[in-house]
Amino acid sequence: MANIQSSPTATTQGPIAHYDAVIIGAGVGGLYALHHLRKMGFSVRVYEGANGVGGTWWWNRYPGARVDGPASPFYCYTFSEELVREWDWTETQSDQASVLAYLEYVADRFDLRRDIQLDTWIRDARYDEDQQRWWVETSRGERVGCQFLICAVGTLSAAYKPNIPGIEDFAGKCYHTSRWPQEPVSFVGKRVGVIGTDSSGVQAIPEIAKEAAHVTVFQRTPQYTIPARNRPVDPEEMRQARENWSDLRAQMDASPLGMPLKISQRLAAEDTPEQRQALYEALWQKGGLDLLFGSYADIITNKEANRTLADFVRGKIREIVRDPQTAEKLLPDYYVGTKRQLLDNGYYETFNRDNVTLIDLRHDPIQTVTATGIRTATGEHSLDMIVLATGFDAVTGALVRLNPQGRGGVRLAEKWRTHFDTYLGLGISGFPNLFTIHGPGSPSVLYNMPLGAELESAWIGDCMKHLRERGLGAIEATPEAEKGWDQEVAMFANATLFPLTDSWYTGANIPGKPRQFCVHLGGSHYFQRIADVAAQGYEGFVFEKEHYVDVATAS
Ligand code: NA7
């Protein structure tokens, strides 16, 4: 139960609620953290800005939005066998509506909603060093106190709208994929311009093209995308997955990606070009991420191995796209797999449609948006609607926008001006009692996210218990531990080709953002590492004894 007191010194009127933990965000991370911490006996309140649970899956309602990682039934929580038994996934690559329905079901099934306050943004969060508490102010004017602030604010939640000249002058509708309206959007009879051809664009463009009068695709960087080969889940597959759930779960735990994917141990150079071609072809036909992870072990680490797969996909693009000039514009030239690997449902094929035009912005850049369209160097493209599939200030953006104030009044944006330091991707020096789920320096977006949320929440819960049992008031990462962690994250990244590519993984998509690879690529090793840190008495963190605070007068 929350401890509710009134305080004469509160800046807002009314009683102040005190909780053991406030969780910001009711997405995949926040929902599970609530369930877990509540079960451990902590009082918890979740604040969510949207008017529904689901986080990223609530916001990203654009046509074609689907899971682009592991095929169902693996993009799901694993903590409850009953849940695994009860929920039927219907497609191998679940769509947004199914994932959202699943998360809503989880919220109901585990009675989570009573501790979630929707339609509530956190306007401010400050750490009070004397009282070892966080004070949180909401968009509804509430002021809330908590010992622990858990930021489950999402890795892909801070939408990025580039500053395109004239965009405010456009007279038609303009939608960002991650701020898609609740009501259906009709493209019938419309001339639609789509800016952005990464995951969201690649998923949305084929769907929009099926309906619209015309689609003009404004592409800056061409992409490698692999056919998802989405299909209905065979009930027999679900039955088998349920029957072998403990085996599957063990495979997930052991996997570097947290998914029961077969990771090849073979090197590309061990096969002849003909053998490689045959293997790539078979995996292309199979669809999904096996082409990247099940082909050769060194695709992401060896430039020559990478080139063999890149050449194969470029060959596929030339084969699929009938107009050679369009095909040429679609050929990617970065290391395959070093941006988010896309899975599509008919993306390259879409460029064979009469109602789709591709503009290569590298040779024909946008000059301005006008009231009636987009003008590029070579002419005006008349449009009724613009879809911005321009992505996110990923991994760190939502935390920086939250901008909590830590020890000594230092804001997170200030601390992270040039570098995103964290320890274990869970704690931040100068920000005692603040934890992040899927934070920078954790495996986050390159791991099965529901499973990652479970494992991180378990670690956070154990840590909170550690403090409670020992009468400790605060825990804080040391700057030295952060330095060491930064080196570890960089070491994993530098063993791959990831840092060589401009992507949102490296921060390169946001002008002025520090360039840093913020994802820990250790997978299962990461989770062993954080367990070891806990076992060694939370090495790299310092604790403070609990100060005596009378919460009746605390504010
Ligand atoms: P991404 O992956 O950040 O993609 C954004 C796209 O928008 C990408 O093609 C960008 O081109 C393009 N972009 C961004 N700014 C501009 C400007 N100013 N002009 C033209 N084109 C621009 O976001 P998504 O939403 O597709 O995917 C994010 C993740 O969500 C995804 O990985 C999934 O995990 C779910 P660029 O490549 O930078 O040249």
User: What would the pLDDT profile of 231-250 be if each residue is shown by its tens digit?
Assistant: 999 889 889 989 998 898 99
Tokens matching residue 466: 């550690």
Q: Is the pLDDT of residue 55 over 60?
A: yes
Quote the pLDDT of residue 237: 87
pLDDT digits (tens, 9 = 90+) for 489-499: 999 999 999 99
Question: pLDDT tens for residues 111-148?
Answer: 999 999 999 999 999 999 999 999 999 999 999 999 99
Token pair 């060093």: residue: 129
| Ligand 1 centre distance from Cα of residue 554 (Å) | 45
What is the predicted pLDDT for the residue at 115? 98
What is the dihedral sign for C-alpha 497, 501, 505, 508?
Answer: positive
CB count in 10 Å sphere of residue 24: 29
CA-CA distance, 314 to 310, in Å (whole number)? 6
Whole-number Å distance, alpha carbon 539 to ligand 1 midpoint, is 38
**pLDDT for the residue 540:** 98
- Can you give the pLDDT at residue 86? 94
Nearest CA to ligand 1 atom 21: 196
Do the Cβ atoms of 211 and 233 come closer than 8 Å?
Answer: no
Question: Residue 9 — very low, low, confident or very high, per pLDDT cuts 50/70/90?
Answer: very low
Instruction: Say what the pLDDT of residue 3 is.
Output: 45
Percent of the chain with pLDDT over 70: 95
Q: What is the DSSP letter of 315?
A: H
328: pLDDT strictly greater than 90:
yes
End-to-end alpha carbon distance in the chain:
19
The tens digit of pLDDT for each residue in 388-444 reads 999 999 999 999 999 999 999 999 999 999 999 999 999 999 999 999 999 999 999
Question: What atom of ligand 1 comes closest to residue 200's alpha carbon?
Answer: 26
Residues facing residue 492 across a β-bridge: none
Q: What is the pLDDT of residue 12?
A: 52
For residue 178, the ligand 1 atom closest to its alpha carbon is 25
Helices 96-109/28-39 angle, 10° precision: 10
Question: Rounded to the nearest 10 degrees, what angle do helices 449-469 and 28-39 cross at?
Answer: 40
Query: In this predicted model, what pLDDT tens digit does every residue of 331-345 receive, in sequence order?
Result: 999 999 999 999 999
Residues at CB less than 6 angstroms from ligand 1 = 68, 156, 162, 164, 177, 195-201, 218, 220-221, 340, 361, 389-392, 504, 509
- For a pocket test of ligand 1, which of 28, 164, 198 has the largest count of ligand atoms closer than 8 A to its C-beta? 198
Q: Is the distance from CB of 190 to CB of 212 less than 8 angstroms?
A: yes
- Mean pLDDT on 296-321: 98
pTM recorded for the entire structure: 0.95
Cite the DSSP H helix spans in 73-185: 81-86, 96-109
Query: What is the mean pLDDT of the segment spanning 496-519?
Result: 97
When the pLDDT of each residue in the chain is averaged and rounded to a whole number, the result is 94
Residue 555 CA to ligand 1 centre (angstroms): 43
Contact 296, 268 (CB under 8 A): yes
Torsion of CA 168, 169, 172, 178, to 10 degrees: -10
Residues 184-202, buried b or exposed e (16+ Cβ, 10 A)?
Answer: ebebeebbbbbbbbbbbbb
Q: Which residue has the tokens 């789709």?
A: 356
Cα–Cα distance for residue pair 456/443, rounded to 1 Å: 10
CA 361 to chain centre: 27
